[in-house]
């Protein structure tokens, strides 16, 4: 039995094997696809939220400050951002099931390497490989759901996936705090191993083979290299600029490199026959507004998790208690996400998206002003509920705009913008918090760092909410 399962897994790792007939003919077969995809969604968000809580502890273990240890998170995110459009394009050509199973295997092995890393450089290297595995998972997740479900079921399926992501986010701080208290930060990576094994086996048995594939074409390696250069340079400027100062020659050079690489990327994508990122696809209404607001929502979400994690650590709050407090945000997100589709049908997707981001912005503004634990938990829950109303509706809007046969590419674009938002949230929150604590000592510095970071995130959420509300009125 074990040998046959291993053989099936290896066959699907290299090709796409069919599902067993009992699974294929079952009336719940489409929802088994949603369940399988939700495992990957859960793992990705669990890992992201666990690491955000562990950064202060990893920094202390290796004797580095926030500006350096944040690359344990940013290295993963930069690789994720750069690999997502590549994985999306490949999935449309070689098969989504195949790349999804491969993603589980790569992610799980890289998690083991992270847990065993003897120093910070090797930990960051293993995180890069983990980001590659996560890209193979995320680039295919929404596309697999779209292929499995009919149009009237798509919103519900994406809502379930959003709830799985929220459960992962919620479990990250709570489970992470417990594991940190029990055995240290290495356990936070090793917890991925059983989930990864289950997810890979479920992918082989429950996912269908791809129905549509694009013809083979020359791959846009130039565009991929320029995208990686632009993303990496931008993240380096934001995360490291505070140490030597933003006027330092090296930081200025990295900023110029990011701008030139971005310009070069756009020029290459306009010229090649099979671009990595189809710029014409991004001009389809309502994609620019939906992708831009989704990026902002992800920036706000992870910026909040990062800054509150650092603030609680600075106040001496224990890991287990800090994890339970942080869990209020993703738990509320998970509760609200399944309701979003029903509310969108009643009030309209744009109005609901605007209301969700407005609620998040107001909650973060309140969080900047209160410092007691009960008030903090309530504000985090309100922020999470707002994001839970926004995210599923926004994802459904984006995927319904994808042309036939381009679901993988659109899923890659969607998750790439989320990855950029996550990286910006981590980098900007770390930067603003570091600037804030530099203006005071002890608790006063921590208060100031928290206040300016949350105020900036609240203003960003409210600004985009206002723009969405104005579009809804028109």
DSSP state of 402: S
In this prediction, residue 170 carries a pLDDT of 59
Least confident of 72-86, 134-148, 282-296, 409-423: 409-423
pLDDT of 422 > 50? The answer is yes
Kindly report the average pLDDT of the chain as a whole number.
78
In this prediction, residue 242 carries a pLDDT of 60
Q: What is the pLDDT of residues 53-87, one digit of tens each?
A: 788 888 888 888 766 787 888 788 778 777 877 77
Confidence of residue 317 (pLDDT cuts 50, 70, 90): confident
pLDDT of 123 > 90? The answer is yes
Confidence of residue 412 (pLDDT cuts 50, 70, 90): low
In this prediction, residue 359 carries a pLDDT of 93
pLDDT of 45 > 90? The answer is no
Confidence of residue 173 (pLDDT cuts 50, 70, 90): low
pLDDT of 3 > 60? The answer is no
- Record the tokens describing residue 342, joined without a space: 């029903």
Q: What is the C-alpha separation between 328 and 330, in angstroms, rounded?
A: 6
Over range 263-289, report the average pLDDT: 79
Confidence of residue 450 (pLDDT cuts 50, 70, 90): confident
In this prediction, residue 285 carries a pLDDT of 73
Least confident of 9-13, 48-52, 150-154, 290-294: 9-13
What's the count of helices (H) and strands (E) in the chain, helices before strands? Answer: 20, 0
Q: What is the pLDDT of residues 252-265, one digit of tens each?
A: 888 888 899 889 98
**Hunting for tokens 């479990």 — which residue is that?**
171
pTM for the structure as a whole: 0.70
Backbone angles phi, psi at 167, to 5 degrees: -65, -40
> What sign results for the dihedral spanned by CA atoms 460, 173, 330, 147?
positive
Of 438, 334, 399, 359, whose CA–CA distance to 145 is shortest?
Answer: 399
Are 404 and 92 contacting, i.e. CB atoms less than 8 angstroms apart?
no
434 vs 113 pLDDT, higher one = 113
Q: What is the C-alpha separation between 377 and 324, in angstroms, rounded?
A: 9
Over range 453-459, report the average pLDDT: 92
In this prediction, residue 169 carries a pLDDT of 62
pLDDT of 109 > 60? The answer is yes
Over range 96-122, report the average pLDDT: 89
In this prediction, residue 9 carries a pLDDT of 52
* DSSP code per residue over 192-222: HHHHHHHHHHHHHHHPPPPS--PPP----HH
pLDDT of 178 > 70? The answer is yes
Confidence of residue 152 (pLDDT cuts 50, 70, 90): low
Domain boundaries, the chain: 8-13+23-208+276-473, 221-275
pLDDT of 440 > 60? The answer is no
Q: What is the pLDDT of residues 368-387, one digit of tens each?
A: 888 788 888 999 999 989 98
In this prediction, residue 461 carries a pLDDT of 92
Over range 158-180, report the average pLDDT: 71
Q: What is the C-alpha separation between 39 and 84, in angstroms, rounded?
A: 18
Residue percentage of the chain with pLDDT more than 90: 11
Angle at 468 between CA 409 and CA 429, to 5 degrees: 75
Helices (H), ranges, 348-406: 349-369, 373-400
* Fold designation for 8-13+23-208+276-473: Growth Hormone; Chain: A; (1.20.1250)
Q: What is the C-alpha separation between 209 and 206, in angstroms, rounded?
A: 10
In this prediction, residue 1 carries a pLDDT of 46
In this prediction, residue 11 carries a pLDDT of 58
Q: What is the C-alpha separation between 346 and 340, in angstroms, rounded?
A: 10
* DSSP code per residue over 420-454: HHHHHHHHHHHHHHHHHHTTS-HHHHHHHHHHHHH
In this prediction, residue 333 carries a pLDDT of 82
Highest mean pLDDT of the ranges 34-38, 42-46, 101-105, 113-117: 113-117
Over range 230-235, report the average pLDDT: 78
390 vs 141 pLDDT, higher one = 390
Highest mean pLDDT of the ranges 77-91, 185-199, 429-443: 185-199
Residue 274 half-sphere exposure, CB side, CA atoms within 13 Å? 17
């Amino acid at each position: 039995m074990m040998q046959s399962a291993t053989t099936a897994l290896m066959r699907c790792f290299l090709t796409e094997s069919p599902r067993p007939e009992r699974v294929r003919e079952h009336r719940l077969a489409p929802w088994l696809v949603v369940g399988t995809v939700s495992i990957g969604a859960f793992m990705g968000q669990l890992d992201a939220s666990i690491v955000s809580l562990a950064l202060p502890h990893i920094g202390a273990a290796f004797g580095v400050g926030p500006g350096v240890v944040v690359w344990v998170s940013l290295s993963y995110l930069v690789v994720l951002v750069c690999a997502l459009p590549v994985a999306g394009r490949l999935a449309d050509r070689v098969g989504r099931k195949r790349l999804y199973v491969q993603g589980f295997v790569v992610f799980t092995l890289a998690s083991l390497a992270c847990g065993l890393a003897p120093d910070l450089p090797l930990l960051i290297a293993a995180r890069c490989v983990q980001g590659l595995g996560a890209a193979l998972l995320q680039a295919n997740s929404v596309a697999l759901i779209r292929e499995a479900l009919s149009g009237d079921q798509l919103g519900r399926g994406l809502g379930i996936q959003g709830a799985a992501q929220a459960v992962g986010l919620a479990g990250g701080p709570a489970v992470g705090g417990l594991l940190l208290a029990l055995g240290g930060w290495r356990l936070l990576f090793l917890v991925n191993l059983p989930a990864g094994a289950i997810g890979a086996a479920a992918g082989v048995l429950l996912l269908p083979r791809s129905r549509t594939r694009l013809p083979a074409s020359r791959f846009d390696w130039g565009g991929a290299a320029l995208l990686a250069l632009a993303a990496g340079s931008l993240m380096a400027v934001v995360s490291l600029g505070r140490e030597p100062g933003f006027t330092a020659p090296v930081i200025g050079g990295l900023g110029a490199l990011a701008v030139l690489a971005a310009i070069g990327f756009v020029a290459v994508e306009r010229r090649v026959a099979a671009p990595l990122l189809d710029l014409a696809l991004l001009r389809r209404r309502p994609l620019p507004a939906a992708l831009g607001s989704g990026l902002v929502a992800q920036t706000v979400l992870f910026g909040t998790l990062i800054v509150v994690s650092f603030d609680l650590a600075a106040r001496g709050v224990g890991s287990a208690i800090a994890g339970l407090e942080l869990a209020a945000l993703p738990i509320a997100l998970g509760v609200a996400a399944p309701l979003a589709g029903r509310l969108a049908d009643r009030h309209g997707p744009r109005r609901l998206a605007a209301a969700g981001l407005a609620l998040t912005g107001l909650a973060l503004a309140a969080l900047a002003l209160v410092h007691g634990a009960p008030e903090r938990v309530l504000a985090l829950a309100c922020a999470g509920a707002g994001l839970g109303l926004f995210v599923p509706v926004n994802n459904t809007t984006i995927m319904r705009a994808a042309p036939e046969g381009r679901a993988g590419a659109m899923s890659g674009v969607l998750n790439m913008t989320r990855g950029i938002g996550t990286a910006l949230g981590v980098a900007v929150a770390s930067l603003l918090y570091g600037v804030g604590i530099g203006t005071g000592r002890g608790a006063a510095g921590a208060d100031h760092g928290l206040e300016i970071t949350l105020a900036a995130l609240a203003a960003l959420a409210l600004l985009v909410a206002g723009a969405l509300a104005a579009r809804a009125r028109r």
